[in-house]
């Protein structure tokens, strides 16, 4: 057995064991131990160092099988993209910092166990991400229908409540806004998404090759928009964005008629297709994340029950940020749980609601580490991603 093979097997065994213990702990406590994360980082650095040493020995003629120097550039690129992906989902308030760190290190270690992993080096991070959320989504939907069916048989009126809540949310949007206002908002979002996907098409054609390749996959734009939707939505509402959008559309049609008239219709059709696909993904994805995942793990607490470390639901975060009195304390809140100061402010704020009987929705947490582990294992076992079955 060559040194390279021994290092690959070592990386695979470590990841299998390390990932199993982290996902098991997360399943029980919805927390990821920092000590285990640090252990993973140390082992990753040791494995990288061993591979570099093996390559140096190979260049000296001491060993025959080793990784080429360019491979370490690919490893660095893969790790950088993993860090970016993990940070986007943490900053987008999808998962807590512990899960983000576990994802970053897992994606970084995978090529050391399987050098020819599908999607490596540019798209492994997004492949694992998609595997993670597709697997979690399938489980959430299956669990929802199974539990709701059991509730229906037993005569529980709360069966399929999440679907009714989702319908009510859509109805409330149209009831709070007149038909004309609602239509304007939808059209504005439609054109906002359209200009983004048109910009992608132009980037693929005319910008530097490296930039074009980076954005050549539509699902990367889907990823950034989907998980950063709360932030993107706020940008879309600004007057400055409306001006930028008008300028970009006018520039596209003027320059397009001069330089790429034949491609204009093709670009518009592709952009429209991407807008429609993303709209479906956004609607279904948000339904799964907020109504099937969160609502099944939610509970309500009163002022006296609020404690440090509790995790606010998405709807609670929106409510707090819309209240001028308390919003300043939750502008930087992520999915890591409320700190001591936030707990005190929230407890005091609840005392002012309904004569001191106010309550707020919390979530028990969701074992994202488990699904990250499953997403990685899928690629390590089959060397392909669920992404390969999606034509986006």
pLDDT of residue 193 exceeding 60, the answer is: yes
The mean per-residue pLDDT over the stretch 96-108 comes to 95
- Main-chain dihedrals φ then ψ at residue 90, nearest 5 degrees: -70, -50
For residues 11 and 132, membership in a common domain is answered with yes
> What pLDDT score does 262 carry?
78
State which H helix or E strand residue 361 sits in. Answer: strand 359-363
Task: List all residues 6 or more positions away from 111 whose beta carbon is below 8 Å from its beta carbon.
Answer: 74, 75, 78, 117, 120, 121, 124
pLDDT of residue 212 exceeding 50, the answer is: no
pLDDT of residue 390 exceeding 50, the answer is: yes
Hey, what are 115's tokens?
């050098």
- Main-chain dihedrals φ then ψ at residue 301, nearest 5 degrees: -130, 150
For residues 242 and 190, membership in a common domain is answered with yes
For residues 288 and 164, membership in a common domain is answered with yes
Instruction: Say if 249 falls within a structural domain.
Output: yes
In this predicted model, what pLDDT tens digit does every residue of 286-323 receive, in sequence order?
A: 777 766 777 777 889 998 899 988 888 878 888 888 88
Range of the domain at 381: 3-137+369-389
> What pLDDT score does 177 carry?
64
DSSP string, 114-183: -TT-TTTTTTHHHHHHHHHHHHHHHHHHHHHHHHHHHHHHTT-TTTTHHHHHHHHHHHHHHHHS-HHHHH
pLDDT of residue 208 exceeding 70, the answer is: no
Among residues 252, 269, 294, which one ends one of the domains?
294
pTM value > 0.85: no
The mean per-residue pLDDT over the stretch 104-110 comes to 97
> What pLDDT score does 103 carry?
97
Number of domains in the chain: 3
Widest distance between CA atoms in the chain: 80
pLDDT of residue 326 exceeding 60, the answer is: yes
Instruction: Say if 11 falls within a structural domain.
Output: yes
For residues 241 and 185, membership in a common domain is answered with yes
User: Rounded to an integer, what distance in angstroms lies between the CA atom of residue 371 and that of residue 136?
Assistant: 6
Instruction: Say if 100 falls within a structural domain.
Output: yes
> What pLDDT score does 49 carry?
96
Instruction: Say if 247 falls within a structural domain.
Output: yes
| Dihedral in degrees, nearest 10, Cα atoms 375, 381, 382, 385 | 20
In contact, 35 and 18? CB cutoff 8 Å: no
pLDDT greater at residue 246 or residue 216: 246
In this predicted model, what pLDDT tens digit does every residue of 171-182 receive, in sequence order?
A: 776 666 666 777
Among residues 273, 294, 315, which one ends one of the domains?
294
For residues 311 and 383, membership in a common domain is answered with no
Instruction: Say if 144 falls within a structural domain.
Output: no
Instruction: Say if 49 falls within a structural domain.
Output: yes
For residues 234 and 173, membership in a common domain is answered with yes
Among residues 245, 273, 294, which one ends one of the domains?
294
For residues 221 and 187, membership in a common domain is answered with yes
pLDDT greater at residue 215 or residue 296: 296
For residues 254 and 168, membership in a common domain is answered with yes
For residues 276 and 373, membership in a common domain is answered with no
pLDDT of residue 209 exceeding 50, the answer is: no
For residues 9 and 58, membership in a common domain is answered with yes
For residues 273 and 374, membership in a common domain is answered with no
Instruction: Say if 380 falls within a structural domain.
Output: yes
Instruction: Say if 299 falls within a structural domain.
Output: no
For residues 353 and 373, membership in a common domain is answered with no
């Amino acid at each position: 057995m060559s040194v390279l093979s021994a290092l690959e097997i070592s990386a695979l065994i470590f990841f299998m064991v390390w990932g199993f213990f982290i996902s098991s702990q997360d399943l029980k406590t919805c927390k990821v131990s920092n000590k285990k994360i640090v252990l993973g980082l140390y082992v990753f650095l040791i494995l990288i160092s061993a591979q570099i040493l093996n390559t140096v020995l190979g260049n000296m003629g001491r060993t025959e099988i080793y990784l080429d120097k360019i491979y370490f550039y690919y490893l660095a690129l893969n790790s950088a993209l993993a860090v970016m992906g993990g940070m986007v989902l943490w900053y987008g308030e999808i998962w807590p910092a512990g899960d983000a760190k576990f994802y970053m290190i897992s994606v970084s270690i995978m090529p050391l166990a399987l050098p020819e992993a599908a999607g490596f080096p540019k798209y492994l991070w997004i492949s694992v991400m998609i595997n993670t959320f597709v697997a979690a989504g399938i489980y959430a939907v299956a669990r929802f229908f199974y539990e709701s069916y059991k509730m229906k048989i037993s005569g529980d009126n709360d069966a399929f409540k999440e679907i009714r809540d989702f319908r009510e949310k859509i109805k409330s949007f149209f009831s709070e806004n007149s038909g004309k206002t609602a239509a304007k908002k939808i059209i504005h979002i439609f054109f906002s998404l359209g200009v983004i996907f048109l910009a992608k098409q132009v980037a693929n054609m005319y910008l530097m090759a490296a930039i074009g390749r980076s954005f050549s996959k539509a699902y990367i734009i889907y990823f950034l928009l989907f998980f950063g939707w709360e932030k993107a939505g706020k940008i879309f509402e600004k007057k400055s964005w409306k001006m930028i959008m008008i300028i970009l559309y006018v520039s596209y049609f003027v320059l397009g008629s001069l330089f790429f008239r034949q491609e204009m219709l093709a670009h518009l059709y592709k952009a429209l297709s991407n807008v429609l696909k993303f709209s479906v993904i956004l609607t279904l994805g948000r339904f799964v994340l907020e109504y099937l995942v969160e609502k099944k793990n939610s509970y309500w607490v009163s002022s006296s029950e609020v404690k440090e470390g509790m995790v606010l639901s998405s709807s609670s975060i929106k409510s707090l940020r819309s209240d001028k009195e308390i919003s300043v304390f939750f502008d930087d809140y992520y999915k890591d749980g409320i700190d001591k100061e936030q707990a005190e402010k929230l407890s005091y704020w609840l005392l002012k609601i309904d004569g001191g009987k106010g309550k707020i929705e919390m979530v028990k947490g969701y074992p994202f580490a488990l699904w990250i582990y499953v997403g990685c294992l899928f690629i390590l076992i089959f060397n392909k991603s669920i992404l390969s079955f999606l034509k986006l």
